Structure 1
Amino acid sequence: MTESAAWATDPDRSKGRLHKEQTGADIRGPRDAFQRDRDRIVHSISFRRLRHKTQVFLAPDGDHFRVRLTHSLEVAQIGRTIARALGLNEDLTEALCLAHDIGHPPFGHAGEDALKAAMAGAGGFDHNGHTLRTLMLIERPYPLWDGLNLTWEMLEGLAKHNGPVAHPGWALAEADAAAGLDLTRWPGLEAQVAAIADDIAYDNHDIDDGLRAGLLSIDQLCAVPLVARGWDAARGRFPDCDERRLARELVRSQIGTMVNDLIEETRVRIAASGVETVEDVRAAGRALVGFSDAMRLEERDLKRFMYANLYHHPRQLEAAAAAGQVVAGLFAAYRADPASMPEEWRERLPTQEPALSRHIADFIAGMTDRYAIRQYEQVVGPIAMPEGF
């Protein structure tokens, strides 16, 4: 096991939880604070629902395509590898990676765009803010408080894993008011690792799914210099391998290339910054985890390609339009007749705005793709959804 670095987040020095709990090895096993956070995420209803939430393809028929759950597991694997190499806290890193997408509504970004538009008069919607709202309020497994009662470091990392937040939306602002998340400073290195592990995972695994769906081809992908070099190297190592199997090698090798670059560059940044504690990291004024300049530009080129050729592919845009119709239709139907919501949501229904609309959005955001479609058909009417992949 790699020795922890001085700038790693130490569970024994955690700032604690909002609600005081019993502690000790005799309370449900010998786990430290961040191991408990990770386990609470894994055991949560919201985490289980990620298995039926869109990653790239809407409600895919194929068993081999990624969904939010499998994506989150892959992010966690990459995050732990990086954390171990840098001497960071692996359990906190893993917990942040596993939880980072819990606030996503059904149908991925298409669903989020539709919910944001529907909520325009009630402060809008942001999946990152909703992650905090879900974990601090909506999950209710404990007798004495709402939420999972996660550590301050876990909440801080989720709030700021993409960096300081100058203008938080209403949900994140409420979380900050409750927990004092110090939004204007950088988070610990574990959160910074989780953010880029997410990028590495979807940059590469979306290539795999795009090829499997037939929306991308190797010839197209080789227009991206990073991919072209990786493909040529893979073909050189395995000249007789068929293209489908070689594509998997390309993805694996490209992940390794990005991870190695990230680790090397991060070590250089940490050494140059002179940080010695987690508080030094927060006060550094810039990201200490990141790609080299060359890799950052190449990764940006890859993202541009993926948006142009996969995420904005005509079939994807058709699916996004249908997803938007489902989410917008559900919100309008529940707003017009809140009694059409399930009993457990009706009994806690606020009577005033914006709380009423936010309560409805909470219900919709927690839905899986297939449950949202069933609810739409029940409260709105039939809808023709695009065929899955």
Structure 2
Amino acid sequence: MKLAETLAADPSRSRGRRFAEPDSAPRGPRDAFQRDRDRIVHSVAFRRLRHKTQVFIAPDGDHFRVRLTHSIEVAQIGRTIARVLGLNEDLTEALCLAHDLGHPPFGHGGEDALQRTMADAGGFDHNAHTLRLVTCLESVYPDFDGLNLTWETLEGLAKHNGPVASAPWALEEANAGFDLDLASWPSLEAQVAAIADDIAYDNHDIDDGLRSGILTMAELLDVPIVERHWAAIASRHPGLAPERRQRALVRDMIGTMVGDVLDETRRRVAEAGVTTIDEVRAAGFQLVGFSSAFSAEERELKRFLYDRLYNSAALTPIRIEAQRIVTDLAIAYRDGGVQLPPGWRRGEGETSRLRGIADFIAGMTDRFAIARHEELVGPVNLPDRF
């Protein structure tokens, strides 16, 4: 069952773009949200995601997820949910594809290092940096900086995790140029993008963890949601080889999570009685999500992944070395011994200079950061695996 048509974002009723765009250039038969999605796909920042860490250092293994493949997988899940609910698929896809554009090299480890080294310039936040990229740093158009995305796409990127009570400086800058109503909840499409991200990394990180050997099925079976699906697969396919059973596990868990989100979202929307997008934004709570029972199981799975994978003994020293690489590069550029390329110098004043350094480093891929460190600072000590 689809939701009311009035709850779906309508490109013909968009609040528009910050900068007016004359129709003199050829655009093709695309509406505003389709054009947003296409601008994201064609951006330099999107291409760089192919060499940025998801969980494992990107240069290591051909089969591990990176930020690019993760974003594509999030988009697939997001579009499926949006289609079934009758929401706008193109806006959902645009948000899913763009949600990680602001990640620096080496994932959250690199983000933590940039946050520390740039604390005196306002710090660094990857979600806020996504807004900075699409409103300022991506400069491919002749008449304005940024991608000039619609208000609905910018709102979704700013608030897909909910209202923003205290905005990082980069998000404040973007909001000052185009008020995104940060205190309200976002569209249902943005909420779908957020839950699709959770579903994707919950399950694909299991897949990569098993592939790496850091996780084992024996310990995964201590997690009730995994054990239940594992047993169901064995019942349907007796004697199935473990490797194929693992693939079926990931597929089945994604399907179960999507199904729960669909049922729970319909229930919440009906209970809230919302009939317009404005009422969605004023609802005061998240309308797209897991049921309470399933949410508890999903949180348990997340705790397991943090304990056994993200903070594992195998990955911790790699994360520490990755943070050292980012920190060393920031110090090298901050101290003035190494000059930024001309295109990365940001106006006058020390804060602007430091933020230009953060922009440059955040745009680096894993392998480019490693190469720059070896050139400017010294050798890196990353292991052969991961």
TM-score with structure 2 setting the length: 0.97
Alpha carbons 2:264, 2:289 under 8 Å: kept = yes
SS in structure 1 at match of 2:315 = helix
Alpha carbons 2:59, 2:367 under 8 Å: kept = no
Runs of 4+ aligned structure 1 residues displaced above 6 Å come to none
SS in structure 1 at match of 2:356 = helix
What residue ranges of structure 1 are gaps of 5+ in the alignment? none
Alpha carbons 1:318, 1:386 under 8 Å: kept = no
What's the RMSD between the two structures over aligned residues?
1.3
Counterpart amino acid of 2:84? Answer: A
Counterpart amino acid of 1:353? Answer: E
Question: Does 2:84 align with 1:85?
Answer: yes
1:19-30 to 2 correspondence within 5 Å? 19-23=19-23, 27-30=26-29
1:236-315 to 2 correspondence within 5 Å? 236-315=235-314
Between the aligned residues of both structures, percent identity stands at: 63
Partner of 1:112: 111
Cα drift, residue 343 of structure 1: 3.6
What residue ranges of structure 2 are gaps of 5+ in the alignment? none
Partner of 2:64: 65
- Residues 329-378 of structure 1, C-alpha deviation per residue, up to 9 Å, x if partnerless? 00000011265323432xx3434121111110000000000000001111
| Deviating more after overlay: 30-39 vs 373-382 | 373-382
SS in structure 2 at match of 1:315 = coil
Alpha carbons 1:60, 1:388 under 8 Å: kept = no
| Deviating more after overlay: 52-61 vs 124-133 | 52-61
Alpha carbons 1:188, 1:281 under 8 Å: kept = yes
Q: Distance in 1 between the 2:176 and 2:320 partners?
A: 36
Alpha carbons 2:185, 2:280 under 8 Å: kept = yes
1:1-389 to 2 correspondence within 5 Å? 5-23=5-23, 27-337=26-336, 339-345=338-344, 348-389=345-386
Alpha carbons 2:79, 2:89 under 8 Å: kept = yes
| Deviating more after overlay: 77-86 vs 333-342 | 333-342
| Deviating more after overlay: 363-372 vs 273-282 | 273-282
SS in structure 2 at match of 1:354 = helix
Cα drift, residue 8 of structure 1: 0.4
Q: Distance in 2 between the 1:357 and 1:104 partners?
A: 18
SS in structure 2 at match of 1:340 = coil
Counterpart amino acid of 2:16? Answer: G
Alpha carbons 1:159, 1:172 under 8 Å: kept = yes
Cα drift, residue 152 of structure 1: 0.3
Distance 1:22 1:350, change over 3 A: closer
SS in structure 2 at match of 1:314 = coil
Counterpart amino acid of 1:358? Answer: R
Distance 1:149 1:228, change over 3 A: same
